[in-house]
Amino acid sequence: MHKRIRICLIGNGTQSKRIQAVLKKKKIKFNIFCPKKKTIDKKNKNFLKGFNTFFIISPNSTHFKYLKLLRDRGYIFCEKPPVNKISDLKKLKRIKSNKIFYNFNFRFSKLAEILKNTDKYKLGNLRYINIISGHALGLKKDYASNWRSKKQLCPKGIYEMVSIHWIDLINFLFKIKSHFAPTFLNLSKSGSSIDNCNTRIMLKGKTYVDIFTSYTSPLIKRKLFVFQNGLIEQNNNFLQVNGPALNINKDNLVVEPKTILKYKINEKKDKSYSLTKSIEYFLSKVKNKSNFSSKEIRTSLNTTEILIKGLNK
């Protein structure tokens, strides 16, 4: 596989370095393209012609120009969101390529694996979802110089960087019926973009989803999925499945459902796991010269549209 594909990584920031680590571990060679100028000149275009597989890992606002330039050059792995402007989304929808993969890698997480198999645990219908994801990035001294804090580069900050992952996973697994205008806040005051966000979504059957993301909170990772006959819960330390709903003790009192499955969480390893699985999936398509399904492309673009509509409200 390594001889047949020529990989170029566009961007050399934090996420790029994570992807570089995965590729190095797999002993896959790659080049890094990180131009200083905003425009892509003739010299840069000629350099990019030497590759047939691209990882677009540059700031969100630059994704579309690379997608437009490289759409007919081979396979593209594009970081989420692919675009953050409605004008670019309209243009992106006109690109008819089945060789573009959008890295909504939560689809490959341990949590997603369990959510795909709820029938196995006899959990019944989904009733409610609550997700809280926060860490103190916005309180760090270098946050003001981070592109994520700048409105011109990342219009709605944490909403398009963190909330979008959860919106996509929910949309991919359960399909979003409607969504409400998010609540955007800038609490750090050291950046111009959004660092706190509340999002409410409705699924079919009037199942509600509440998502809170923050760059100014203590580290917290909590996800709760309430089903008719059980729970799936994840926090900083564990991921577990509990059921059935009716669990009665010797005094004939309803108590917490029994633990069916318990998995210890290592945040760093779990992030690496889902990213690695996502990259492996992408490279398997490249190796086999096969296409990405219309469903996964359509869902990615639909998630992006939900994001942008939220941005515009």
- Tens-digit pLDDT profile for residues 183-210: 999 999 889 999 999 999 999 889 999 9
**For residue 312, what pLDDT is reported?**
52
**For residue 173, what pLDDT is reported?**
93
Look up residue 139 and give its two tokens.
């309180």
The confidence band for 309, taking pLDDT boundaries of 50, 70 and 90, is confident
Q: Is the pLDDT of residue 3 over 60?
A: no
The confidence band for 37, taking pLDDT boundaries of 50, 70 and 90, is low
**For residue 268, what pLDDT is reported?**
65
Mean pLDDT in residue range 219-243: 95
Higher pLDDT, 313 or 223: 223
Name the average pLDDT for the chain: 90
Mean pLDDT in residue range 209-228: 96
Instruction: Write out pLDDT tens, residues 41-91.
Output: 777 788 888 899 999 999 888 999 999 999 999 999 999 889 988 899 999
Structural contact between residues 45 and 65, judged by C-beta atoms closer than 8 angstroms:
no
Q: Is the pLDDT of residue 256 over 90?
A: yes
Q: For residues 77 and 56, what is the distance between their CA atoms, to the nearest angstrom?
A: 6
**For residue 155, what pLDDT is reported?**
84
**For residue 223, what pLDDT is reported?**
97
Q: Is the pLDDT of residue 2 over 60?
A: no
The confidence band for 265, taking pLDDT boundaries of 50, 70 and 90, is confident
**Is residue 37 classed exposed, middle or buried when 0-12, 13-18 and 19+ CB atoms within 10 A define those classes?**
exposed
